[in-house]
Structure 1
């Protein structure tokens, strides 16, 4: 199986050479403008299918509000179109970050539909470098469908840990690598070269749970689940980690 997977992966890498060339000469920049619109549509469908899982995940968010600082102060890394807003507790103050500035108009649209929240600011920044957010300044950090596409999962989790106050929590919901004995594992590797370009850097083969386990949180609540989605992104991890 491994030999066949290697041959098929090489074939798809070869087919992606024109896309790689376009990226090198800067011809893929237009996709950064198109991608937020695509995500706005995709996120609505994802939320519909994952509604109960997200309700479960964010059900105890309000418990992490600092009692002497008022409402929950939350930082969302890779906020995208604001697909998580509806699940946040009333009065929550949200700091949104994303490396793609073209998400901002969709964020304001989502915020207008979620008047129970207040957006403090939108920061154009990669998750690996959140220098504009002070250390120990937020009660919760949220990352959903983000760690699959960042340059360094380890560095993003480090930054989340840094900005959290002691006792704060990092919430996550991410698709991950499938069981090595499955056909899903096979096709995740074979299709990854093509998937990366159309998913704006998304990788199907990340073992995100290993980075979370090694991050040094005082408590980690992590579950592997099978999401009701297409096979390539069916394997997920969800949960939260307390600083």
Structure 2
């Protein structure tokens, strides 16, 4: 299967040559203007399917509020604000995303979720959140984002830096399928095209290994099979405490 996978991946890479060229000359940036609209529609369907797992996960958010304080949540790669409806009333939310064109859809989600207080939107990557102070955040949320950051370990180091002691990192991520499965095979074969369609998303990442190695004091991580197509069926879900 390994040899066949290599050949098929090479064929797909060749077919993606025009996309490679568009990316190389900088024209792919145009797509980033329209990607938020595409993701907004995808996210609506994703939330309907993953509503119960999200509710179960985010039910634990209030546990990380400081006594008498206001829970401060920072969301990495907030996108269109798909998680806002699951956040507890009264908490303060800081939104970050490297794509500034998400702001239009973010405003729409903010208007629909007035149970939250929105502090600011920061245009930044997960690897560099320098405008956020050390140990200033109660909870960092990251869903379907670690698949597209350039450096997962560095992003997790930034999470550790901005979390206060005892704060938590909540995550839901699709990950690589088990080796020697057809899902694993097709993830690798279609990855070159998938990367461009989903704005840098890599379905072949074993993200759980990075989370396990990040040095959190406590980690609650589960592998689940989400009810989606084979490319994004394997997920990890849970939270880690600093």
The Cα of 1:231 is off from its aligned counterpart by 1.0
In 1: Cα distance, 2:120 partner to 2:27 partner = 31
In 2: Cα distance, 1:204 partner to 1:44 partner = 20
Q: Deviations over 1:13-36 (max 9, x none)?
A: 111111011111122121111000
For residues 32-71 of structure 1, the aligned pairs below 5 Å read 32-68=32-68, 70-71=69-70
For residues 86-101 of structure 1, the aligned pairs below 5 Å read 86-101=85-100
In the alignment, which residue of structure 1 is the partner of 2:128? 129
In the alignment, which residue of structure 1 is the partner of 2:19? 19
The Cα of 1:7 is off from its aligned counterpart by 0.2
In 1: Cα distance, 2:158 partner to 2:204 partner = 22
Structure 2 residues not aligned, in runs of 5+? none
The Cα of 1:77 is off from its aligned counterpart by 0.2
Report SS of the residue matched to 2:70. Answer: coil
Q: Deviations over 1:119-160 (max 9, x none)?
A: 100000000000000010010000000000000011111101
In the alignment, which residue of structure 2 is the partner of 1:197? 196
**Which of structure 1's runs of 4+ aligned residues deviate more than 2 A?**
none
Report SS of the residue matched to 2:88. Answer: coil
In 1: Cα distance, 2:22 partner to 2:106 partner = 29
Report SS of the residue matched to 2:147. Answer: coil
Structure 1 residues not aligned, in runs of 5+? none
The Cα of 1:47 is off from its aligned counterpart by 0.1
In the alignment, which residue of structure 1 is the partner of 2:75? 76
Number of residue-to-residue matches in the alignment: 242
Once the two structures are overlaid, the 10-residue window that deviates more, 23-32 or 48-57, is 23-32
In 2: Cα distance, 1:99 partner to 1:186 partner = 30
In the alignment, which residue of structure 2 is the partner of 1:226? 225
In 1: Cα distance, 2:106 partner to 2:27 partner = 26
In 1: Cα distance, 2:157 partner to 2:29 partner = 29
Report SS of the residue matched to 1:156. Answer: helix
In the alignment, which residue of structure 2 is the partner of 1:140? 139
The Cα of 1:204 is off from its aligned counterpart by 0.6
In 1: Cα distance, 2:194 partner to 2:239 partner = 27
In the alignment, which residue of structure 2 is the partner of 1:206? 205
In 2: Cα distance, 1:104 partner to 1:118 partner = 16
TM-score w.r.t. structure 1 length? 0.99
Report SS of the residue matched to 1:224. Answer: strand
Report SS of the residue matched to 1:204. Answer: coil
The Cα of 1:71 is off from its aligned counterpart by 1.6
